[in-house]
Structure 1
Amino acid sequence: MGFPGTWMTESESVVYRVVPKCACSTIGQIMYYSDHGAFFDGDIHDAQSGLHKWALDASQDPITRNVTAHKSFAFTCVRNPYTRVLSSFFDKICGIQRNGRRYRGNLVPLLIQKYGIEVGGEDGKQEFDQIASFRRFLLFARDTIRWRRPMDPDIHWSAQAGHVSTFIVNGGKYDKIVWTESFNDGMQNVLDSIKTPHAVKLADIPRFNESEGHGPKRAHPVEDYFDDLSMHLVREIYKRDFALFKYDFDNPGNKMPVGEIDLDEVHAKLGD
């Protein structure tokens, strides 16, 4: 299986396991800058050179050699499951993508037909009942994850523990897990632990939020989207994410972690 979703600087200063919707655009640009002294011109996900990615055939051997020998500092980044799934809904379901089309072609028409979801019209800019539509989307997300129907789960709303675990199961070891919610502190810790060809001053790095502007703005506080039923669905889908990455299940309005991540626990529980 190898190391899907793994990126590494060409200088091999650092290895990163991508978790979608968790600051991955910014992290990828920081890695690129640390090697080249400039940012990639465009969405870092489109870069075909300047950064080793598992999806590029030529990168697989260098990544495998590095990760299995644990030659470089390795990290990933996680996010509160409530805000992550909400962000996925607004970006991927309601939003128009970079190519000017809906995400995954016929996905949105399927959701409108089967789950009664509204997305703000053709351009995603019209008003609609965001709360009702989001809760219906959660039912769909649960169906894809639990029963793989009407389609396989998408990487943007499948559990973070699943992404994080492939790296461990195939022989990798994390040195750090960064929280999106305290990104500067966590990323500074990563940068302090590695040597890069170009110095990175975190305060000067812009936020590369490639999904921003794709979809409608969230009209309500996070907690308003989650009633008892949706919290039950969230627990069903993301139980391990809350437990391992120390987020507050009981209060959707609290995006901050409530404890320290135990890396030994993460490796033990996700390494099976």
Structure 2
Amino acid sequence: MGFPGTWMTESESVVYRVVPKCACSTIGQIMFYSDHGTFFDGDIHDSTAGLHKWAQEQSQRLIEANVAAHKSYAFTCVRNPYTRILSSFFDKICGIQRNGKRYRGNLVPLLIQKYGIEVGDPENGFEFDQIKSFRRFLLFARDTIRWRKPMEPDIHWSAMSGHIGTFISSGGRYDNIVFTEKFNDGMQSVLDNIETKQAVILKDIPKFNESEGHGPKRAHPVEDYFDDLSMHLMWEIYHKDFQLFRYDFDNPANKMPVGEIDLNEVHVKLAN
């Protein structure tokens, strides 16, 4: 299986398992900067040099050797499942992507036809019933994850535990799992454990958000999007994420983790 979604600095100072919608653009740029003293010009997901990625064939052997021997500090980053799925909806379903088109071509028309979702458009200021459409999208996300219909689940809304678990089941071990909600503290704890070629001052690092500004803004508090049925679906899809990464399932209004992550428990439960 290898190590899909794994990035490593060219200096091999640190290894990172990407989890979509969990500050991955900012983390990738910090890694790039820590080697080169400059940020990648563009979306870090588009880089093909300056950062080792499993998706680049020439990087695979180096990543595999490093992770198998646990030569470098390895980490990942998680986010509250309620805010993560909302972010996926507003970015990938409602938003216009960097190429000026809708995400995945025929995905949005499929959702409009099969699930009755509305997404609005830039011409009308993205006016639509966000709560009703989001809840229908959540039903679609559940169908893709549970039954792989009408399509395979997308990386942006498949469970964090699934992404994080591939690294473990292939023989990797994490030294740290950072909370998006406590990003600077978590990222500083990573930097404190590695040696970088360039000094990284976190307070001076901008937030890189490739999804910002090309879709509608969330019009309501997080908790308004989740009624009893929505919360039932969230538990069905993401119960492992809530349990392992210590997020508050009972209160969608509380985005902060309610405890510390037990790394040993994560490794045991996601090893298979």
TM-score interval, normalised by the smaller of the two chains: over 0.9
Amino acid in structure 1 at the alignment position of 2:217: K
Amino acid in structure 2 at the alignment position of 1:227: D
Identity %: 80
Query: 1 CA distance for matches of 2:253 and 2:209?
Result: 22
Amino acid in structure 2 at the alignment position of 1:146: R
Partner of 1:19: 19
Q: How does 1:138-157 map to 2 (within 5 A)?
A: 138-157=138-157
- Structure 1 residue matching 2:232: 3-state secondary structure: helix
Partner of 1:167: 167
Partner of 2:184: 184
Q: Are residues 1:113 and 2:113 paired?
A: yes
Q: Is the 8 A contact 2:126 2:215 kept in 1?
A: no
Partner of 1:237: 237
Pairwise CA distance, 1:126:
2.8
Structure-1-length-normalised TM-score? 0.99
CA displacement, residues 26-52 of structure 1 (integer Å, 9 cap, x when unaligned): 000000000000000000000000000
Pairwise CA distance, 1:124:
7.4
* Unpaired stretches in structure 2, ≥5 consecutive residues: none
Partner of 1:30: 30
- Structure 2 residue matching 1:229: 3-state secondary structure: helix
Query: 1 CA distance for matches of 2:255 and 2:166?
Result: 25
- Structure 2 residue matching 1:118: 3-state secondary structure: coil
Query: 2 CA distance for matches of 1:46 and 1:225?
Result: 32
Q: Is the 8 A contact 2:94 2:120 kept in 1?
A: yes
Partner of 1:260: 260
The 1:42/1:269 distance shift into structure 2, 3 A limit, reads: same
Pairwise CA distance, 1:239:
0.3
Partner of 2:41: 41
Partner of 1:87: 87
Partner of 1:127: 127
Q: How does 1:54-73 map to 2 (within 5 A)?
A: 54-73=54-73
RMSD in angstroms over aligned alpha carbons?
0.8
Pairwise CA distance, 1:255:
0.2
Q: Are residues 1:206 and 2:186 paired?
A: no
Pairwise CA distance, 1:125:
2.8
Pairwise CA distance, 1:215:
1.0
